Structure 1
Amino acid sequence: MIYLDHNATTPPAPEVLAAMLPVLSDVWANSSSQHGPGQDAKRALGAARATVARVLGCKPAEVIFTSGATEANHLAVRGLLAAAAPGRRRVVFSSVEHAGHLRLARALRDAGMAVDLIPVRPDGQLDLAAAQALLGPDVALVSLMAANNETGVLMPVAEVAELSRAAGARLHVDATQFIGKQPFDFSRCGADAVSLSAHKLHGPKGVGALLLRQGVALVPQTLGSQERGRRGGTENLPAIVGLAAALDLLGDVSLEAARLATLRDALESGLCQALPATHVWCQNVPRLPGTSYLRFGTLSVDVVLQRLDRLGVAASSGAACSSGGSEPSHVLGAMGVPADEALAAVRFSLGRSTTLANVTTLLNTLPALLEPLFNPTRNP
């Protein structure tokens, strides 16, 4: 199989599994217990926290372990909002946040909170002038992804951080797709809080973290003494150790980013040459090196994915599946893309396992399977 769906999830690295196994079998005590086995678990938890902090450029006390990025996002938004001054009751999201995060925005609005969405331009980039216009003295929090999960477009975090500071608002960044794919240093990113998830960078599912800048007030959403009282519940120690091991494996992210960008560009240029109806979104703006979001004319994505499956290629759609079928991507909708084109969206997301041979195989086989679909007189 050629796996080109790394933005959805990544396979756990062998080193991650090796790090987790001893914890599962031997260090299974509760880290809050005072006896010897409990203290062994506490030391393992502390070591994992120190590794996360070292790799991500933060202090160990700034790391809050969660069940994943979704919980981290909710903790950041609800917790920072609850801690805001009484006069600050408005929250600003981007219009292209992950669908799950926009559900939180709708829930806040349904609860009577003022919520605004920053638009994006047709090229997928955030409209900074609109962002500046939305940031007033009543804004408690801005929540922005670092990189879009569909288009791969990089968001102007530094610029939004400056605007947020000027308005006296907190900034939360969802770095789920960014960390592990681009260089990251919490001490320099300008955000007050940053979310991440282990399974996007070859760690286990069900664990993530919220990095919270020291001194920033946060009201916990799950009560308990764990995580310095900021997130109650017994820590998932094996998964936390796996997260730390996955981060420790990253090494020089820039080298891998350059390799993936070369492969991505070869894939896109090859497909555009073999199938002139190919259109690549956000091709000329800063984006993640391994993300390619495209369509083949207006061929149904379901048909394209079926043919990819025949080739043993795992890719994904840009549409969100519902019980009534597929709906156009809200990201492409925010960019002004017509529904028929959005329903043709295919996302290839390359990763650590992707090779030039994989790209060559796809270029040598996929056009032959798709080309007949543009000519109804030939059998597909």
Structure 2
Amino acid sequence: MRLPGTRYQEHGWEEVRKLLGAGSLVALRACDLDAVLQPSRHAALLDDYTDALAPVLHAAGRAARMPGNGYGDSVGALAMALLCELPARPAFWLAFATGLAGEHAKQGPFWRAAAGDALLRKKVNDMYATLRDQVDADNYQAATGQPCSANRIYTYRMLDMAWRAIEQVFAGWPGTAPQVAAILGRPVDALPIELRQLTSAARCRPEWVIRWSESLERFGGSPGPLHTRSKRFASLRNQPEQIGALLAEIGDYEALSANGDGAAWLHDAQAASDWLEDLDRIGADSARAAGAGEVCPAPRYEAVTAALAALAAEALPVRQAVCLKLLGPSDDSYPDDWRTGPGGGLPTLEQLAALAGVSVPTLRKRRNAAIDRLVGMVPAGQGE
């Protein structure tokens, strides 16, 4: 789901949550969690936590560079930004620390036991889940000038989930015909036109959402979000106009913001990040090698060197034919005595065959065999 100003409501949130959860376990082990028992130490504990978690997120590598949303933000960047929000919004950390203290009162210092990691991670997940909604709510207000709360963001997300669930029910036709009839509020004997009309949140009718929620207890075994005992969404059951307005806003903004989803730079982002990581690795290896008085070879250096040595064993016309095929007739790497062909470049394949004293098909066959050997000796790099 996308809304103006939001960054944490799309598919990548699950990866952001996992990264923050796993990293937090590492960071919290480096902290004195007994400090949660003393409210006066909560602020200092937050400083220790952020200092410990930041390098863990930076070191996450490729996992952190996964796309986190449709705007080009990576999982790592989103996680780091949310971590930086904690000191600016200490109430979320104080609630987290108070929650840990409450669990300590029930079962002692559970975080010291290996089995306590699950509860600790759940508390971390809850903290960041509420924080992300508040951050997105504030950014929504800044982007639109309209009031918004974390609860409203939660409502948007529920409705986005609802229309997509309805879409899945419609897609299951005819196997889901009874539930389709319940959602549409009429008998369906043939393929309903509504199944083709539902193409976005904006095309989802509010009465469908209400009937879908009502149908879940019958078809899913548990009440839908509008029909539970919780008061969070109870009022929406009687406000189809509000449901329709919220769905229209979700659909309209997703259509507006989707024009860059296929941009080439998004597809190149991962390859560029991998290249930078390789560059960083080579730089670190070079620094270590320099300290040992050695030279750090580039990736696949040994394989390339061996391939060039094998090519040097070929006759000169064959080597030139290989270069003609792979690099073209003109290249700055060619020595001057090779540049005897048209325009000061390599000789043509016919001229090279004459120099070698063989026919053009024979030279072409030898050239292709040499290229095949080169390709076999130099393995492709990752991502190539």
**TM-score of the superposed pair, with normalisation by structure 2:** 0.25
Of structures 1 and 2, the larger Rg is shown by 2
Q: Going by fraction, where is strand more abundant, 1 or 2?
A: 1
Calculate the TM-score normalised by the size of structure 1: 0.25
Structure having the larger proportion of residues in helix: 2
